């Protein structure tokens, strides 16, 4: 059955390591990465759109052309004169990534300023994807605007997908982070957290504690990712575990979680059982971490 997926968040200019000490430029951002990978594997009668804000400068034009060139619609990306996209750089240590950010005045911070625009885009969609990064970059009043539209989407039976993607540097106050992520989860039907983040920042003593905390917020579906240990699924009240796929050499873990999310949602939307979708998503994430950057070219990914 045809449908529409909408991802909401910030895409940035990405700088990654390349040959001979050079840096290579691309574009990425967690929710956009999820949209990119979902597009690779969704049936062709599904559309994928991004909701964000960019500037009116050349790099913003390039970013939108990049999105369109990869099959992600940009009709819901606002253009804001005088603002520019943010930028981030990937640092690697034995394949594990960390980031530097230049994003404090990015256009994307204004993505939820217009509630009517948000509502129209969400109403037109079947699956809506957002993250803790989406919430972290917004002014407090815009967090509320976004969450109230997502609650409305949940109430009418849409699939609302939330990856807490906790980035401590984007939050000035960790209590506010915990409260906001909690409200984000409450507005969702499916949470896709990384266990590592949850134990570190919510103090969960175990996987069981993470699952119980999100279930208590009324989130019916969960996929808790745990790096090389695989992922635990909660669907239809039943729990199951899907192992990760084997990887010869980890080059860059950037977007392991986002690529998993995108491939998983695509397979689920196409009618696969959650375990089957997660096994495929693990294969996709395993391919992604064997290459530099968040977005790996189609010919290097498992064929869908």
Ligand X SMILES: Nc1ncnc2c1ncn2[C@@H]1O[C@H](COP(=O)(O)OP(=O)(O)O)[C@@H](O)[C@H]1O
Q: How far apart, in whole angstroms, are the C-alpha atoms of residue 287 and residue 11?
A: 22
Q: Is 58 exposed, middle or buried (0-12, 13-18, 19+ CB in 10 A)?
A: exposed
DSSP state of 205: S
**Of 170, 176, 18, 203, which Cα lies nearest the Cα of 99?**
170
Residues 6+ positions from 273 with CB-CB distance below 8 Å = none
- Nearest approach, Cβ of residue 238 and ligand X (Å): 19
- Nearest approach, Cβ of residue 131 and ligand ELE (Å): 8
Q: How far apart, in whole angstroms, are the C-alpha atoms of residue 25 and residue 225?
A: 28
- 24 in the Ramachandran plot: left (φ > 0), alpha (ψ -120 to 50) or beta? beta
Closest to ligand X by CB, 85 vs 257, is 257
210 binds ligand X (CB under 6 A): no
260 binds ligand X (CB under 6 A): yes
Closest to ligand X by CB, 149 vs 197, is 197
Listed in sequence order, the DSSP H helices in 137-273 are 140-155, 174-186, 195-202, 207-215, 256-269
Q: From the list 233, 254, 263, 284, which residue makes contact with ligand ELE (rule: CB under 6 A)?
A: 254
Q: From the list 146, 177, 185, 231, which residue makes contact with ligand X (rule: CB under 6 A)?
A: 231
Quick one: which segment of 40-48, 179-187, 211-219, 254-262 binds ligand X (CB under 6 A)?
254-262
106 binds ligand ELE (CB under 6 A): no
Q: Is 102 exposed, middle or buried (0-12, 13-18, 19+ CB in 10 A)?
A: middle
- Residues 81-100, interacting with ligand ELE (CB under 6 A): 88, 99
Catalytic pick among 30, 142, 258, 283: 258
Q: How many CB atoms lie within 10 A of CB 80?
A: 18
Which of ligand X, ligand ELE, none does residue 231 bind (CB under 5 to 8 Å by kind)? ligand X
- Nearest approach, Cβ of residue 247 and ligand X (Å): 4
Q: Is 136 exposed, middle or buried (0-12, 13-18, 19+ CB in 10 A)?
A: buried
258 given a catalytic annotation:
yes
- Nearest approach, Cβ of residue 151 and ligand ELE (Å): 24
Closest to ligand ELE by CB, 221 vs 258, is 258
For residue 7, what are its two tokens? 């991802």
**Of 218, 295, 277, which Cα lies nearest the Cα of 30?**
295
Q: From the list 150, 160, 286, 296, which residue makes contact with ligand X (rule: CB under 6 A)?
A: 286
Q: How far apart, in whole angstroms, are the C-alpha atoms of residue 200 and residue 114?
A: 34
Q: Are 7 and 30 in contact (CB under 8 A)?
A: no
Q: From the list 115, 227, 302, 304, which residue makes contact with ligand X (rule: CB under 6 A)?
A: 227
- Residues 188-207, interacting with ligand X (CB under 6 A): 194
Q: What is the contact surface with ligand X in residues (CB under 6 A)?
A: 194, 225-228, 230-231, 244-245, 247, 250, 253, 256-257, 260, 282, 285-286, 289
Q: What is the contact surface with ligand ELE in residues (CB under 6 A)?
A: 28-30, 33, 88, 99, 133, 165, 167, 254-258, 294
What positions carry a catalytic annotation? 258
């Amino acid at each position: 059955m045809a449908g529409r997926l909408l991802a909401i968040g910030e895409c940035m200019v990405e700088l990654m390591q390349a040959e001979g000490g050079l840096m290579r430029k691309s574009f990425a951002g967690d929710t956009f990465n999820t949209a990119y990978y979902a597009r690779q594997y969704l049936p062709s009668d599904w559309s994928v759109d991004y909701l964000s804000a960019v500037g009116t400068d050349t790099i913003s034009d390039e970013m939108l052309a990049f999105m369109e060139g990869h099959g992600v619609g940009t009709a819901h990306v606002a253009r804001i004169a005088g603002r520019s996209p943010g930028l981030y750089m990937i640092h690697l240590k034995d394949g594990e990534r960390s980031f530097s950010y230049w994003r404090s005045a990015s256009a994307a911070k204004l993505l939820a300023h217009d509630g009517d625009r948000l509502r129209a885009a969400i109403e037109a969609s079947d699956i809506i994807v957002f993250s803790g990064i989406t919430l972290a970059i917004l002014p407090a009043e815009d967090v509320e605007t976004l969450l109230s539209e997502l609650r409305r989407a949940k109430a009418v039976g849409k699939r609302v997908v939330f990856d807490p993607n906790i980035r401590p540097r984007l939050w000035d106050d960790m209590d506010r982070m915990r409260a906001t992520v909690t409200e984000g989860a409450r507005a969702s039907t499916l949470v896709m957290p990384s266990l590592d983040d949850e134990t570190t920042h919510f103090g969960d003593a175990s996987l069981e504690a993470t699952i119980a905390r999100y279930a208590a917020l009324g989130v019916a579906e969960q996929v808790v990712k745990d790096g090389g240990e695989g992922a635990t699924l909660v669907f239809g009240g039943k729990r199951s575990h899907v192992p990760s796929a084997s990887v010869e050499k980890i080059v860059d873990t950037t977007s392991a979680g986002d690529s998993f999310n995108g491939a998983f949602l695509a397979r689920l939307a196409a009618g696969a059982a959650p375990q089957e979708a997660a096994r495929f998503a693990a294969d996709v994430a395993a391919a992604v971490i064997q290459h530099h950057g968040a977005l790996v070219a189609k010919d290097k990914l498992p064929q869908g």
